[in-house]
């Protein structure tokens, strides 16, 4: 869940070819170490808190609210973070926010010492504060990259940061967090995570100062200017999307993929309980493999994506994602239906039983779902970057990310709430029904996109933009 939006002009291809040279830069290694530690820590504590909230409340909606306390600060306080970075030493900001996050995580030892006795309102409040510190840390970190890395190595540096974000999600959220939680308990998770944030702060210390490059007006004027710019850019972003159908489609692809991942995270603990018959702490059987699949997909696209038409990859990913969601929704009746058929096989070859168990099948499906997510999200973001005119790319891309984040809040909250309501009338059926509906909707979106892009010829090749003066809009064709 921890997320950083990288500047679009420096993440177009995800090229890792210069990684070896970048890691020879000691300052970059320190900054990357701080990022890896803090991202890993954030995802570990997210896993522990989601399991804790689900066990304490028994509510999928409560888990969704917890996720929103992670997401909302990134939207509300990104402007504040930008103002602070423009006026302060980014190194000091990164150091202070890591220490603040360490202190906030340590407070969970008192507020949520066990998974069944947590003070949920205080968990929400503390987590909101910690997420706010993360929202301020992110622009300081991004500002530091071009100051300590040579321009010719920026692509590789940003690609490493993007890969680290996804890898730490798979490792922290899908493996380490649940492992420490199950073996040592929630207090151990909080202690380990707090120490990791402290270690991230120590990694910041050797960095050179990253001071503003120019003098600004007073803090009050800067804040007022930033808010004014945010409102103006919001209007500009909405108008731009309305006038450019290609941008709207790329944004829709990103919205669908990010919303589905958020929903799966929100209902993951409930799925572990209601469908797999496990404890909420074991929901990593879903999200862990999904994170691993996403990393595999990113690595594959980094190596071979240039040879594939982006719209074909996106449409195939959407259709496959719809099928996968429906399979997860039907996994229990499918397992029951075929249980008798595989019984003789298990009796004849006992060693094969774990490989065809319900959990094993879910792990495989979840891994495939993560792969499908990468196949939708990565080409969609690349297409969005290519379709935005270079002279407005920075400000429009930033505001579109804000719009995307806001749009994803509703399904993340609505899907678990609907599952809880359905469970009141049909116990245990809420999550399968919600997942089935999501699967049908995703499949419908995939079919509509497939037909549209096939008519435009975008399954055979990516439409190349002709050379144009700066500021000219991208080619729209039929909106493709």
What is the distance between the alpha carbons of residues 416 and 59, in angstroms, rounded to a whole number? 8
Q: Are residues 255 and 189 in the same domain?
A: no
Positive or negative torsion for Cα 259, 438, 68, 189 = negative
Give the helix, strand, coil percentages of the chain, each rounded to 5: 80, 0, 20
**Structure confidence by residue, pLDDT tens digits, 57-114:** 988 899 989 988 988 887 777 666 666 766 678 888 889 999 999 999 999 999 999 9
Whether residues 363 and 440 fall in one domain: yes
**221 found inside a domain:** no
238 part of a folded domain: no
DSSP string, 4-28: -PPPGGG-SS---TTHHHHTT-HHH
pLDDT at residue 189 in the model: 95
Q: pTM for the full model?
A: 0.73
Average pLDDT over residues 280-298: 79
Same-domain pairing of 212 and 248 = no
The C-alpha angle with vertex 343 and arms to 339 and 347, in degrees rounded to 5, equals: 155
How many folded domains does the chain comprise?
2
Q: Write the pLDDT tens digit of every residue in 335-354.
A: 666 655 555 555 554 544 44
Instruction: Reply yes or no on whether the pLDDT at 25 is more than 60.
Output: yes
Average pLDDT of the segment spanning 30-42: 92
Q: Is residue 235 part of a domain?
A: no
- Percent of the chain at pLDDT > 70 equals 73
Within a domain: 358: yes
Number of continuous H segments (helices) and E segments (strands) in the chain:
17, 0
Tell me how far apart the alpha carbons of residues 158 and 160 are, in angstroms, rounded to a whole number. Answer: 5
Confidence of residue 45 (pLDDT cuts 50, 70, 90): very high
Is residue 265 a part of any domain in this protein?
Answer: yes
Q: Which of 293, 286, 261, 259 is nearest to 271 (CA)?
A: 286
Q: How confident is the model at residue 448 (pLDDT cuts 50, 70, 90)?
A: very high
CATH at 383: 1.20.1250
435 part of a folded domain? yes
User: Which domain CATH number covers 129?
Assistant: 1.20.1250.20
Could you tell me if 133 and 280 lie in one domain? no
Listed residues 174, 198, 216: the one ending a domain: 216
Residue 314 in this model has a pLDDT that exceeds 50: yes
Residue 450 has pLDDT above 60, yes or no: yes
Instruction: Tell me if 43 sits within 8 A of 179, measured CB to CB.
Output: no
Same domain, residue pair 197 and 260: no
Closest CA to 288 of 166, 175, 162: 175
Buried b (16+ CB within 10 A) or exposed e, 413-429: bebbbbbbebbeeeeeb
Band of pLDDT at residue 299, cut at 50, 70 and 90: confident
Do both 328 and 458 map to the same domain?
Answer: yes
- Cα distance between residue 468 and residue 465, in whole Å: 8
Residue 267 to residue 61: CA distance in whole angstroms: 8
Residue 172: pLDDT band (50, 70, 90) is confident
Question: Which segments within 305-401 are labelled E, that is strand?
Answer: none
Q: How many CB atoms lie within 10 A of CB 126?
A: 22
Q: What is the pLDDT of residue 304?
A: 82
The answer to whether residue 228 is domain-embedded is no
The tokens of 67 are what? 């996720």
Structural domain ending residue among the three candidates 169, 199, 216: 216
Identify whether the C-beta of residue 444 lies closer than 8 Å to the C-beta of residue 113. Answer: no
pLDDT for 177-218, tens place per residue? 888 998 899 999 999 999 999 999 999 999 887 776 555 445
Distances 432 to 330, 340, 415, 475 between C-alpha atoms, Å:
7, 22, 11, 42
Residue 127 has a pLDDT of: 95
The radius of gyration of the chain from alpha carbons, rounded to an integer in Å, stands at 23
Angle separating helix axes 26-57 and 154-168, nearest 10 degrees: 20
Domain match, 260 and 178 both = no
* Cα(98)–Cα(197) distance, integer angstroms: 5
Same domain, yes or no: 283 and 378 = yes
CA angle (29, 84, 238) in 5-degree steps: 100
Q: What is the mean pLDDT of residues 405-421?
A: 82
Q: Give residue 404's pLDDT.
A: 66
Is residue 396 located within the same domain as residue 478?
yes
**Is there a contact between 23 and 260 (Cβ–Cβ < 8 Å)?**
no
Same domain, 259 and 209: no
The residue segments making up the domain with residue 393 are: 244-480
Please indicate, yes or no, whether residues 210 and 257 belong to a single structural domain of this protein: no
Decide if 232 contacts 398 (C-beta within 8 A): no
Residues 317-328, mean pLDDT to the nearest whole number: 92
With contact defined as beta carbons under 8 Å apart, do 53 and 62 qualify? yes
Judgement on whether residues 147 and 292 belong to the same structural domain of the protein: no
User: Predicted confidence band at 242 (pLDDT cuts at 50, 70, 90)?
Assistant: confident
What Å distances lie between residue 206 and 34, 202, 238, 275, CA to CA? 11, 8, 42, 49
In this predicted structure, the answer to whether residue 259 has a pLDDT above a threshold of 50 is yes
Q: In whole angstroms, what is the distance from residue 7 CA to residue 162 CA? A: 11
Neighbours of 221 (CB within 10 A): 10
Residue 191 lies in a domain: yes
DSSP string, 90-102: HHHHHHHHHHHHH
Whether the CB-CB separation of 66 and 123 falls below 8 Å is answered with yes
């Amino acid at each position: 869940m921890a997320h950083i939006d990288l500047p679009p002009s420096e993440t177009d291809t995800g090229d890792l070819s210069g990684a070896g040279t970048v890691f020879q830069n000691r300052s970059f290694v320190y900054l990357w170490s701080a990022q890896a530690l803090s991202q890993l820590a954030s995802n570990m504590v997210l896993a522990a808190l989601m399991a804790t909230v689900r066990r304490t409340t028994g509510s999928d909606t409560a888990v969704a609210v917890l996720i929103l306390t992670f997401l909302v600060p990134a939207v509300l306080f990104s402007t504040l973070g930008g103002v602070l970075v423009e006026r302060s030493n980014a190194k000091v900001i990164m150091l202070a926010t890591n220490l603040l996050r360490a202190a906030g995580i340590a407070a969970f030892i008192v507020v949520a010492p066990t998974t069944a006795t947590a003070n949920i309102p205080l968990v929400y409040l503390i987590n909101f504060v910690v997420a706010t510190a993360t929202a301020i840390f992110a622009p300081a970190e991004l500002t530091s990259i071009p100051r300590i890395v040579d321009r010719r190595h920026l692509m590789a540096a940003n690609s490493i940061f993007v890969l680290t974000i996804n890898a730490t999600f798979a490792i922290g959220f899908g493996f380490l967090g649940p492992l420490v939680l199950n073996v040592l308990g929630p207090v151990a998770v909080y202690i380990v995570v707090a120490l990791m944030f402290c270690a991230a702060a120590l990694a910041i210390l050797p960095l050179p100062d990253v001071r503003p490059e120019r003098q600004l007006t007073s803090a009050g004027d800067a804040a007022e200017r930033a808010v004014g710019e945010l409102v103006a850019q919001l209007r500009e972003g909405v108008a731009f999307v309305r006038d450019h159908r290609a941008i709207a489609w790329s944004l829709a692809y990103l919205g669908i993929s990010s919303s589905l991942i958020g929903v799966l995270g929100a209902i993951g603990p409930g799925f572990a309980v209601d469908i797999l018959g496990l404890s909420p702490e074991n929901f990593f059987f879903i999200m862990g493999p999904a994170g691993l699949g996403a990393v595999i997909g990113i690595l594959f696209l980094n190596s071979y994506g240039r040879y594939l038409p982006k719209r074909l990859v996106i449409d195939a990913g959407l259709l496959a994602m719809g099928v996968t969601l429906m399979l997860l929704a039907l996994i229990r009746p499918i397992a029951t239906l075929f249980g008798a058929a595989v019984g003789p096989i298990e009796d004849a070859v006992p060693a094969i039983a774990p490989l065809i168990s319900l959990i094993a099948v879910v792990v495989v499906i979840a891994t495939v779902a993560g792969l499908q997510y990468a196949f939708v999200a990565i080409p969609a973001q690349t297409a969005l970057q290519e379709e935005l005119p270079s002279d407005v790319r920075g400000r429009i891309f930033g505001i579109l990310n804000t719009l995307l984040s806001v749009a994803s809040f509703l399904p993340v909250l609505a899907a678990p709430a609907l599952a809880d309501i359905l469970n009141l009338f049909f116990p245990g059926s809420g999550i399968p029904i919600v997942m089935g509906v999501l699967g049908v909707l995703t499949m419908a979106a995939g079919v509509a996109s497939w037909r549209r892009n096939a008519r435009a010829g975008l399954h055979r090749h990516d439409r190349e933009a002709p050379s144009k003066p700066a500021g000219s809009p991208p080619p729209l064709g039929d909106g493709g």
